[in-house]
Amino acid sequence: MIRSILYATDLGLYAPYVLQHALALTRSFNAALYVVHAVEPMGLFAESVLQTYLDENTLKDMRSNGLSTVMASIEQRVLEGFYDEMGDAQEDMALIKAVRVIQGDPPQVILAQARELQVDLLVVGSHSHGATWDTPLGRTAARLVQLAEVPVYLVPMLQHRGHGEL
């Protein structure tokens, strides 16, 4: 029985396509839909640039207050993007119980959210927007298939169709 679904989005070009799958499943099972987007932590280079130009107190303040402000802003943009994508199907927005933007390694963030929310199904795209067609499965999708404790519904990306090589 599927009562809740977690849709993990990279906010890429094919995110609306994957969202449509998540919404269709949510309607079919009369389930609750949760959305998560993982933001990769800053790399060493970005961190060193900030340390060069900002004093320690400003850095500390930015890390504590700035990050939460940025995450809230991204969550708002995700919701606004969903409203734009859905056009006339605004009633589908009521199916989305929560949108969370969390900093961390995407597979780890998604798996942690799946456990915390106790979802019954994960919905993800098979590849990130930057993957090439000859890559059988994207890094995040592969890790989720390997480690998830619930079924994973993989949506094939459109750019990978029609290449027909087995």
Domain assignment present for 72:
yes
Q: Tally the domains of the chain.
A: 1
Q: In the sheet where 4-8 sits, what is the strand order?
A: 96-103, 32-39, 4-8, 121-125, 152-155
pLDDT tens for each residue of 61-73: 776 776 677 777 7
Lowest mean pLDDT among 24-28, 76-80, 124-128, 160-164: 160-164
The average pLDDT across 82-96 equals 76
The residue among 127 and 139 whose pLDDT is bigger is 139
Cβ proximity of 119 and 6 under 8 Å = yes
Range of the domain at 31: 4-158
- CATH of residue 22: 3.40.50.620
**Residue 75 pLDDT greater than 70, yes or no:** yes
